[in-house]
């Protein structure tokens, strides 16, 4: 049977960018920036994306396109009979575990779309937003319904296949996302005192720098670029043989970074404009922002209404293109490894993630059991984003940097000599030395040893 592929290069770029652009950009990036002091964090983040993230992304692309198999099988095919196959298995497992709890937050975005749509934020004050977020996220079944809706949306797009599901939906959702984000940033920047927010984003204060800022920026770059679990390797297995890996990685990195900065340009000017500090942490976009939206726009209710509706739609779309990519990693693996049909494979993934998602969601409210001192939601977040992704990224760079033949890595980068790749030695140096050392540092830091 012929392997599925993306129909066009731009479709491939948009799908990979769709995976990268997600809650990581609009939810995690602003609060990380906010709590790490703004512009200085952003500068370091940019360095991490371009110096570490892009080489590792190209390495993932190399593995996927070369093996023409989803990440779960690609390592085993390129290194038969070696333990490298476990890197693929680790990726599949990370995808499965992240998808469950990520869908919980993704589901919240749908609740906020509905509340915005029905104008439920109108007339509320700061305490009301805290209370309603807590009541909602700890409710025994309301978040579960949204979680299931979100998983089903993801499921149906994945079942439709690579070209008709993933590529087509990305080609629609990504441009809509761009338009929304540009309009929102424009509105936010035109608010009174937006200047203060802009300065926070653009004027670095280097006195805030410490090891935590460096390591936080690196971790954020991995999460945001979808690195370390083979999502991008799986997508690259659908790339055509003339897709340019370096160029694609640069485009995806650029789009992902642009969206993160634009999300900052929406959130910080709006927050400063109403005198709210931007360091609220993870609750920033679910508690602080609805409040900001109500107070901004000089009390013109219609503008507040439209702004918050557009914002939560944007968030839901961004999350959806990312959940699709995680789902695809596992679905493609089950399909290839066990010969199951895509729909059967997808049903298993969706059911599994529904269970882990439901348990994670309940762990934020009625279910108090803890494991290693963490509720299940926090445990999944910690184990996947902080341990499994960096470990995956480390192993992928070692695999391409040291295990794969140098000529093979060069052939993939240069499309068998058709493209010039003068940066190849630098790329290889980063994979061999810089990335492994840097990632080991994140790792050690996350475990609290540094």
Q: Which of 332, 292, 285 is nearest to 312 (CA)?
A: 285
Alpha helix ranges (H) inside 363-434: 376-381, 389-398, 406-414, 424-429
- Of 226, 273, 295, 397, which one interacts with ligand PHE (CB under 6 A)? 226
Name the token pair of 386.
């902080």
Q: Report the nearest approach of ligand PHE to the CB of residue 194 (Å).
A: 25
Say how many residues touch ligand PHE, by CB under 6 A: 15
Name the token pair of 34.
């906010």
CB 437 within 8 A of CB 113: no
234 touches ligand PHE (CB under 6 A): no
CB 95 within 8 A of CB 326: yes
**Region binding ligand PHE by CB under 6 A among candidate stretches 114-122, 203-211, 221-229, 391-399:** 221-229
Query: What is the Cα–Cα distance from 80 to 72, expressed in whole angstroms?
Result: 13
Query: What is the Cα–Cα distance from 376 to 313, expressed in whole angstroms?
Result: 27
Counting Cβ atoms within 10 Å, is residue 355 exposed (0-12), middle (13-18) or buried (19+)?
exposed
Q: Report the nearest approach of ligand PHE to the CB of residue 229 (Å).
A: 5
**Region binding ligand PHE by CB under 6 A among candidate stretches 75-83, 279-287, 318-326, 412-420:** 318-326
Q: Which of 139, 148, 146 is nearest to 108 (CA)?
A: 146
Phi (first) and psi of residue 160, to 5 degrees: -65, -15
316 touches ligand PHE (CB under 6 A): no
Q: 329 vs 376, which CB is nearer to ligand PHE? A: 329
Residues 326-385 that bind ligand PHE (CB under 6 A): 326
- Of 229, 289, 354, 376, which one interacts with ligand PHE (CB under 6 A)? 229
Q: Report the nearest approach of ligand PHE to the CB of residue 83 (Å).
A: 23
- Of 15, 63, 221, 231, which one interacts with ligand PHE (CB under 6 A)? 231
Residues 7-26 that bind ligand PHE (CB under 6 A): 19-20, 22-25
- Rama region for 161: left / alpha / beta (φ>0; ψ in -120 to 50; rest): left
Q: 33 vs 291, which CB is nearer to ligand PHE? A: 33
Residues 96-115 that bind ligand PHE (CB under 6 A): 98
- Of 41, 223, 311, 377, which one interacts with ligand PHE (CB under 6 A)? 223
Q: Which residues bind ligand PHE (CB under 6 A)?
A: 19-20, 22-25, 98, 223-224, 226, 229, 231, 322, 325-326
């Amino acid at each position: 049977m012929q392997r599925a592929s993306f129909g066009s290069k731009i479709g491939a770029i948009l799908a990979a960018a769709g995976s990268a652009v997600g809650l990581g950009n609009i939810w995690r990036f602003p609060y990380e920036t906010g709590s790490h002091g703004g512009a200085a964090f952003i500068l370091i983040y940019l360095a991490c994306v371009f110096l570490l993230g892009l080489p590792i992304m190209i390495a993932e692309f190399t593995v996927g396109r070369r093996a023409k198999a989803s990440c779960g099988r690609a390592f085993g095919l390129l290194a038969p009979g070696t333990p490298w196959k476990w890197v693929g298995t680790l990726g599949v497992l990370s995808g499965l575990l992240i998808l469950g709890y990520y869908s919980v937050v993704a589901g919240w975005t749908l609740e906020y779309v509905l509340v915005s749509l029905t104008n439920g934020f109108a007339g509320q004050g700061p305490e009301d937003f805290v209370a309603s977020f807590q009541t909602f996220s700890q409710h025994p079944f309301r978040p579960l319904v949204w979680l299931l809706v979100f998983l089903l949306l993801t499921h149906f797009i994945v079942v439709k296949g690579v070209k008709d599901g993933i590529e087509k939906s990305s080609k629609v959702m990504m441009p809509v996302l761009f338009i929304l984000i540009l309009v929102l940033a424009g509105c936010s920047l035109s608010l009174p005192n937006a200047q203060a927010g802009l300065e926070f984003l653009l004027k670095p204060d280097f006195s805030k720098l410490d090891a935590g800022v460096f390591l936080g920026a690196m971790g954020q770059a991995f999460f945001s670029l979808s690195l370390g679990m083979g999502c991008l390797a799986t997508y690259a297995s659908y790339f055509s043989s003339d897709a340019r890996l370096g160029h694609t990685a640069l485009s995806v990195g650029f789009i992902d970074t642009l969206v993160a900065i634009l999300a900052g340009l929406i959130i910080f000017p709006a927050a400063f404009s109403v005198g709210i500090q931007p360091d609220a942490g993870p609750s920033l976009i679910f508690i602080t922002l609805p409040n900001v939206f109500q107070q901004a726009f000089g009390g013109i209710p219609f503008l507040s209404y439209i702004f918050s509706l557009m914002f939560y739609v944007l968030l839901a779309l961004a999350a959806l293109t990312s959940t699709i990519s995680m789902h695809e990693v596992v679905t493609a693996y089950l399909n290839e490894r066990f010969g199951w049909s895509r729909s059967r494979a997808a049903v298993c993934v969706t059911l599994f993630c529904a269970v882990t998602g439901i348990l994670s969601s309940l762990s934020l409210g009625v279910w108090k059991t803890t494991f290693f001192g963490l509720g299940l939601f926090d445990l999944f977040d910690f184990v996947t984003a902080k341990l499994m992704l960096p470990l995956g990224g480390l192993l992928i760079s070692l695999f391409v940097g040291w295990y794969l033949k140098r000529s093979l890595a060069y052939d993939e980068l240069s499309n068998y000599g058709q493209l010039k790749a003068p940066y190849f030695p630098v790329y290889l140096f980063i994979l061999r030395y810089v990335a492994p050392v840097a990632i080991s540092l994140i790792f050690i830091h996350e475990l609290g040893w540094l």
